[in-house]
Structure 1
Amino acid sequence: MTGDIWQQIFNYDNYGELLFLVRNSLVAGAMLGLVGGIIGTFVMMRDLAFAVHGVAELSFAGASAALLVGVNVAAGSLAGSIVAALIIGALGVRARDRNSIIGVLMPFGLGLGVLFLALYKGRAANKFGLLTGQIVAVDTVQMTWLISTCVVVLMGLCVLWRPLTFASLDPDVAAARGVPVRALSSVFMVLLGLSVAVSIQVVGALLVLALLVTPAAAAMRISASPGLVTLLSVVFALTSILGGILLALGSSIPISPYVTTISFTIYLVCRGVGVLRTRAGSRFSGPPSARGKDTRHLSMRLR
């Protein structure tokens, strides 16, 4: 019994032949790791981890609706993400308001998604894939859409990098200095919605946090430097998604458990390193007051 379970989790028979089939998935995973690692840094700085899940639920509803009516699933996922992002961005100015809105949107989106999947009479694998991801689901058409969307997100972040960082670290001072904080928030939510929509194609709606939140959260445990945090977040996200794809290839289990396990393991290691460095009085992972000084110094440089 144990041997059968292990065979399901790790089976490397004909691995070389199977590896040829997931070339698109590996390229897609690399793009998603890059986007997820970068935008995840801003998600953590802006305290939007809960928002990622809320956007993912409506993205799932949009993808499920598209699957039901027989149109492009990626387009449905994108539409759901953008709608959720615009709602959260427009109405959730304060953290309390934003969280309450997300709390309302999440069960509504999940309920709609479940309804659409219950009505769908096609292959069960298509239903399951929307929730947990599919390793070989990225065909040439999806690949083109995914890469194009990732490029748009990366270009948007490059253009907005400096004011967005300033507004994320110290929104009150940024607003006083003339930075359009509210407009930046709305634009960022749209970019986040695009990132969620493309991530769902690989890791699924329920586990998108492992790609857009956990890597950045892990990086922040061992550094307070925004530049280093972003770099580490990208490395962690790439390790999680590419490692998950390569491990899932030799099994009959969806990709998401592998991605989440790798991502969570990285977080635990980083958390342990952070605790050790705090005890040693490291300047990167010192007490909260020290990290606050680093943040204020960065804000001063961005003004």
Structure 2
Amino acid sequence: MTPPYRPLADGEDPGVWGRIFDFDDYGELLSLAQNSLLAGALLGLVGGLVGVFVILRDLPFAVHGVSELSFAGGAAALLLGLNIVAGSIVGSLLAAGAIGVLGVRARDRNSIIGILLPFGLGLGVLFLSLYQGRAANKFGILTGQIIAVDTPRTAWLVGTSLVVLIALAVVWRPLTFASVDPQVAEARGVPVRGLSFAFMLVLGLAVALCVQIVGALLVLSLLVTPAAAAARVTSSPVLLPALSVLFALVSMEGGILLALGSSVPISPYVTTISFVIYLVCRLAGSPAPRRRAHT
């Protein structure tokens, strides 16, 4: 079967399955994907850990809203010839900060997200329509890229991932308390509002990271689905983040390895794997009740 990444002989069409799965010259392609595999491992770790709090704090809609501003920031950077990762981070932090400041209550938060989401998407579409470069660059921001993770971009991803992981390590215990039982946590002197704002900034960084690989449209597959799957089978404060990270890693690395053998973007593979994991967990267990903090 002639692979889709080289000219077809005599107009031969590999067919739909040939475009989705084609492992000719797979070894050579695998050697080019070392940075992507490293980036995938980092995103699996970050996405799995951040996703735990996304589920505990009921913030999936916020992830989608932040991703649209991250998309707009990345598209603006692409248009201006600047660093796309930096642009995505700026867009994510602006959105996360606005949600954190203006959306104190759940009702206010959802309204703010509903306003920011179409605004960010509209800006991103505008910037991409003005961009005259390669169409693959436009498509990659929306649906993810795999081979394009070069060494400078990897350095950005590693540095930002370290910032997220360090921040989570610092606030993990009080943030867990504030997420599980905010009233009791506030009564005990935990800075619930400050932690909420800090987590929104951490979430913004995590979204910007995920957008670089799986794209702005499907970032939920890393920041929501793995943690939601883990929450179906356990409520343990140790097993929940461990399983969430494991599921995110399997989704990311599996998606990268499958996408290497096709002309299809990485995001459909990542989303399919994470969805299958969720279905298995949903069938295997019932919704895990949230742990109540002991008073």
TM-score (norm 1): 0.92
The Cα offsets for residues 247-297 of structure 1, whole Å up to 9 and x where unpaired, read as 00000000000000000000000000014xxxxxxxxx57xxxx25xx12x
Contact persistence 1:137–1:202 (CA under 8 A): no
Partner of 1:79: 90
More helix by proportion, 1 or 2? 1
Q: Residue 226 of structure 1: CA displacement?
A: 2.3
The Cα offsets for residues 126-176 of structure 1, whole Å up to 9 and x where unpaired, read as 000000001111111111110010011000000101100000001111111
1: CA distance, partners of 2:218 / 2:251: 12
SS in structure 2 at match of 1:84: helix
The Cα offsets for residues 81-133 of structure 1, whole Å up to 9 and x where unpaired, read as 00000000011111111011000000000000000000000000000000000
The alignment status of 1:125 with 2:140, answered yes or no, reads no
The alignment status of 1:209 with 2:224, answered yes or no, reads no
Partner of 1:174: 185
Partner of 2:261: 250
SS in structure 2 at match of 1:226: coil
The alignment status of 1:219 with 2:230, answered yes or no, reads yes
Contact persistence 1:89–1:189 (CA under 8 A): yes
Partner of 1:36: 47
Partner of 2:125: 114
Gaps of at least 5 residues in structure 2 are: 1-11
Q: Residue 216 of structure 1: CA displacement?
A: 0.1
Partner of 1:279: none
The alignment status of 1:69 with 2:80, answered yes or no, reads yes
Which of 2, 11, 17 aligns to 2:22? It is: 11
Aligned pairs for 1:132-171 (under 5 A) are 132-171=143-182
How many residues align? The count is 284
Cα RMSD (Å) of the superposition? 1.3
2: CA distance, partners of 1:106 / 1:218: 25
Partner of 1:282: none
1: CA distance, partners of 2:13 / 2:64: 34
Partner of 2:252: 241
The alignment status of 1:260 with 2:271, answered yes or no, reads yes
Which of 167, 186, 193 aligns to 2:204? It is: 193
2:86 partner letter: A
1: CA distance, partners of 2:123 / 2:60: 22
Q: Residue 3 of structure 1: CA displacement?
A: 6.0
Q: Residue 2 of structure 1: CA displacement?
A: 9.9
Q: Residue 227 of structure 1: CA displacement?
A: 1.5
The Cα offsets for residues 27-52 of structure 1, whole Å up to 9 and x where unpaired, read as 00000000000010011000111100
1:49 partner letter: P
2: CA distance, partners of 1:106 / 1:192: 16
TM-score (norm 2): 0.94
1: CA distance, partners of 2:263 / 2:153: 23
State percent identity of aligned pairs. 68
Contact persistence 1:82–1:194 (CA under 8 A): yes
